[in-house]
Chain A
């Protein structure tokens, strides 16, 4: 079965969702990511959804779950690049993804994660 690739950049993980995901693919991503956070000790997860043309309640729930699981494992998830039409539809659908941090684009999202990594380095005394 296809898998969505998860890239590692230092203590940040990068995911770019470029395909119209079916439900199993979304579930697999959720599992893979949790395992990857544990094995890599990542503190930040950036998910780029700028290619996604729709987000239905299943994918919305996946994003919510990923953010929740990451938070429990001390990593912050930032979802970036949601399209206007997708945002309007998601709100109408009744999903606000209140547990997920968002940013306009990859740059802004990375800045949020870098800031957090920076705070950690100070706390760790590295």
Chain B
């Protein structure tokens, strides 16, 4: 490994700065699409110039071996920042990695004329290290995004809606795993307290499959709600799901109804209410006219307590 006390590299980078920059930029713009919500060519130029300057400072002392050492602190910070912002702006991994790797060619060409091959080998290794570091930062940022999205999806996909005083509905969409069950339970129980709900309808129309595990999660939710004093009704069990459940021997020892509407009717009944159709006269006096319903398809209903 070449570690000349007086490396020629800083000198090369200094003396041929504008040539290296020009060629590097040309290579970059061939491979990286700029504009359209991404970085502009101007920004790319600035990044290249700053990077080259920091690189020169970093290797001034002759250290080309290890980018984790102190002389590379500022360069690493800068490269980390660039890589993470590439991830946020939707660049591909190749488009991100090329930033470092495409610096090889212009620098090597300058070296050919001036220095020995040992140093070009060391410089190549150095850029490889920086490229890997750039990828790590890029992926770190991606993972942060994925993690945040997972949390957002978990929260978004479990809304609790109030159907009537004391009656809540929880339309579940997607697969129910244990971490989601946790979020679902917490949301539901919190809403039960807030609304003073007596009945919660868990609608599973949007749940693709119900195996023993999912059934267990559902039952846990039902049991927790019952401990707080609220009853649950499960609705939206599709025919195929009902069949699968019976074949698997999955039992849900809880009131269940085919549709959310049926479950709502049961909930109203259990809380001492019923749905009745009102006459057209009543409808007029209450300010709702029959003719206003789109296409006259719907009648009005009123729920008496």
Contacts and interface: CB of A to CB of B under 8 A. Distances in A.
Judged by CB atoms under 8 Å, the answer to whether A and B touch is yes
Interface of A: 80, 82, 84, 86-88, 90-92, 96-97, 102-105, 108-109
Contacts of A92: 220
B227 A91 contact: yes
A97 B226 CA distance: 9
Nearest to B253: A98
A102 B224 contact: no
A80 to B, nearest CB: 7
A91 B193 CA distance: 18
B223 A82 contact: no
Contacts, number: 52
Contacts of A109: 229
B17 interface: no
B220 A103 contact: no
12 contacts: A84-B185, A84-B190, A84-B228, A88-B224, A91-B227, A92-B220, A96-B226, A96-B227, A97-B227, A103-B229, A104-B192, A104-B196
Nearest to B189: A84
A82 B220 contact: no
Nearest to A104: B229
B187 to A, nearest CB: 10
B190 A102 contact: no
Contacts of B251: none
B119 interface: no
Contacts of A90: 224, 227
Contacts of A108: 198, 229
A21 to B, nearest CB: 18
Nearest to A107: B196
Interface string B173-211: 000000000100110011011001110000000000000
Contacts of A104: 192-193, 196-198, 228-230
